[in-house]
Amino acid sequence: MHGTPHRTGEELESALLAAAGRLGIDIMTGATATDLFAQSDGRVSAVRFVRPDGARETVGCDALVFACCGFGGDKEMVRREIPEIADAEFWGHVGNKGDAVKWGRELGAAVADMGSYQGHGAVAVPYGNPLNWGVLMNGGYQVNSLGLRFSNEIRGYSEQAVEVIAQPGRVAWDIYDEGRERPILGFADYEAIRSLGGVRKAASLRELAVLLGIPADALARTDAEVNLLREGKGEDLWERSFLGTLLLQARFCAVKVTGALFHTQGGLVIDTAARVLRTDGSPLPNLFAGGGAARGLSGPSNWGYFSGGGLLTATTLGRMAGASAARLVFQRVT
């Protein structure tokens, strides 16, 4: 995938901030937009916002771009629109409370794919960093607190979130070994989990089970069953193929994980200029949307999410929305 050299959000944000700085664009932080002012034809004319000290200000606008993502930070809205993931922890920005959809609907905008979201089935507990999915793709597996597998772990990391939160305590353990760990050493998220002591290691599976506080016999049975599947013997209850993957070998590794909601992907329907469309398909006069505020590309549910799909819509739709807004305001092609 395309990404910044160290593949961290911090680095991406720094690059965007630096670009804005070079262009002399003012960025106001610590200000929450609370109200939009619009004319009867849907033209947005101003935004009111509140500062942390409670001071309220209003700023006029000729065009407005919604870049305030989806509604993962509004628990009730998630419960209404995507009940299956409402009990998962939300790991996106808590300020993402669905304002784009709420305001857009009031202006007569169409919304679509409201059940669409990016989940993650292996967020390290209690650290909050996603555990690299490679350990499962390369033949590791997940067990619950009973030491049992419960799903086809490799259907996709987004889909796996609901499987994990259905387990006792809403947690599971990724079980792998140092051979599977090697390729992910150096990834910032993994190093963070490691440095905080989140990766448990042991010389035997039995010892590992004791460390994790899960039944050792059950874990040993699970591992033996998986080993048969690796040789093509028997059929997996969850239809996962382990064929050709290597046995886990000492040292064994485990990380406690939960399923999380990363961001919602349903949102405002836009056209190819990122203009927000009304339910009749006509564009609102000066309203644009990108990123999680707009309907994403993942279809209606959790299974359509593809890696990079979140930042893809944030960066490309964001750029298109910005360019369209600038064209509208300055009447020139950027």
Binding site for ligand FAD (CB under 6 A): 32-33, 67-69, 91-93, 95-97, 99, 118, 130, 262-263, 291-293, 308-312, 314
Smaller CB separation from ligand FAD, 69 or 269: 69
Smaller CB separation from ligand FAD, 74 or 225: 74
Question: Could you tell me whether strands 56-60 and 89-90 are parallel, antiparallel, or unpaired per DSSP bridges?
Answer: unpaired
Beta bridge partner(s), residue 90: 261
Q: What would the two tokens of residue 69 be? A: 């993502």
Phi, psi at residue 175, to the nearest 5°? -110, 125
Smaller CB separation from ligand FAD, 131 or 154: 131
Q: How long a stretch of residues is the chain?
A: 334
Q: Which amino acid is at 167?
A: Q
Closest approach of ligand FAD to the CB of residue 1, in Å: 8
Smaller CB separation from ligand FAD, 132 or 144: 132
Closest approach of ligand FAD to the CB of residue 38, in Å: 15
CA pair distance 284, 251, nearest whole angstrom: 59
Closest approach of ligand FAD to the CB of residue 255, in Å: 15
Closest approach of ligand FAD to the CB of residue 328, in Å: 20
32-40 long-range contacts (CB < 8 A, ≥24 apart) are 32/95, 33/68, 33/99, 36/64, 36/103, 36/107, 38/107
Closest approach of ligand FAD to the CB of residue 263, in Å: 5
Instruction: Give Cβ neighbours of residue 197 (< 8 Å, ≥ 6 apart).
Output: none
Smaller CB separation from ligand FAD, 273 or 312: 312
Smaller CB separation from ligand FAD, 184 or 212: 184
CA pair distance 49, 42, nearest whole angstrom: 19
Q: What would the two tokens of residue 259 be? A: 């399923």
Smaller CB separation from ligand FAD, 67 or 88: 67
Closest approach of ligand FAD to the CB of residue 57, in Å: 13
Is the CB of residue 95 less than 8 Å from the CB of residue 32?
yes
Closest approach of ligand FAD to the CB of residue 101, in Å: 11
Smaller CB separation from ligand FAD, 122 or 208: 122
Closest approach of ligand FAD to the CB of residue 168, in Å: 24
Sign of CA dihedral 307, 311, 313, 315: negative
E strand residue ranges, the chain? 32-38, 44-50, 56-60, 64-66, 89-90, 111-112, 117-124, 141-143, 171-177, 200-202, 252-264, 267-268, 275-277, 283-289
CA pair distance 38, 52, nearest whole angstrom: 25
Closest approach of ligand FAD to the CB of residue 311, in Å: 3
Smaller CB separation from ligand FAD, 44 or 69: 69
